[in-house]
Structure 1
Amino acid sequence: MTQYLMSVHGSEEEYAKVPEDQWPVMFEAVDRFNKQLEADGVWVFGGGLEGAETATVVDASGDAPVFADGPYLETKEHIGGFWIIEVPDLDAALKYAAAGSKACQGKVEVRPFQAEPPTE
């Protein structure tokens, strides 16, 4: 089985277009989706993130760490939340991502985790 990261991407502009009365509907849909992942036995972890303006970037590649207000990338879209699932293959992950995208009314990127290196 492979673990996949399904990350929800969106922009402040996109979120601002969602009518206020739709937010509870969307949260309920995401909650149902989360419960389905758990019932299907594929749930590993998931959560929503605070806004990108709360990020701190840490760069310790030099002599001393440097801390800067985030986000790391200057972009309109940011990750708003994510799920980690464990499924047999990409096709299964894409089916769950489509359901997650529908629930959160946004784009979902799917990426597999790297395989663990063999132990000796």
Structure 2
Amino acid sequence: MAQYIIYFNQQWVGDHPEEWFAARGPLAKAVVEEIKAAGAYVFAGGLEEDHGKAFSADATSGTLTFTDGPYTETKEFLGGLTVVDVADEAAARLWAGKIAEACGWPQEVRRVG
């Protein structure tokens, strides 16, 4: 078994009316329930959209410092993620495809470790 992270940047979501998002929620929840039923679920969740509420920890100078806000200012930031534990890349592709269809925006997939 291998773990894969399936994730999206908030900017990939696009602009949609509130009704569109409301219709996507149940679809995404259904896919998560399907992943759980298949025994592949590790974790899933959306992240706080206000990236100003993020904070950073940095020890590269030899001294640990915490800074309010993201580590670097960027136009893209992580919007949400799902971690699955599956037999192979084909299974990771299956779940990523289902999540992309349910959410209505692209997903990126990477194997963990």
User: What is the TM-score when the length of structure 2 is the normalising length?
Assistant: 0.88
Q: CA deviation at 1:13?
A: 7.8
Distance 1:73 1:94, change over 3 A: farther
Q: Which residue of 2 aligns with 1:38?
A: 36
Alignment identity in percent?
33
Q: Which residue of 1 aligns with 2:61?
A: 62
* In 1: Cα distance, 2:65 partner to 2:55 partner: 10
Describe the superposition over 1:15-59 as per-residue Cα deviations: whole angstroms up to 9, x where unpaired. Answer: xx1111112111111111111101111111111110222211110
Q: Which runs of 4+ in 1 moved over 4 A?
A: none
Map 1:1-120 onto structure 2 (within 5 A). Answer: 1-11=1-11, 14=14, 17-51=15-49, 52-114=51-113
User: What is the TM-score when the length of structure 1 is the normalising length?
Assistant: 0.83
* In 1: Cα distance, 2:87 partner to 2:13 partner: 36
Indicate the SS of the match to 2:63: coil
Number of equivalences: 112
* In 2: Cα distance, 1:103 partner to 1:56 partner: 30
Gaps of 5+ in 1: 115-120
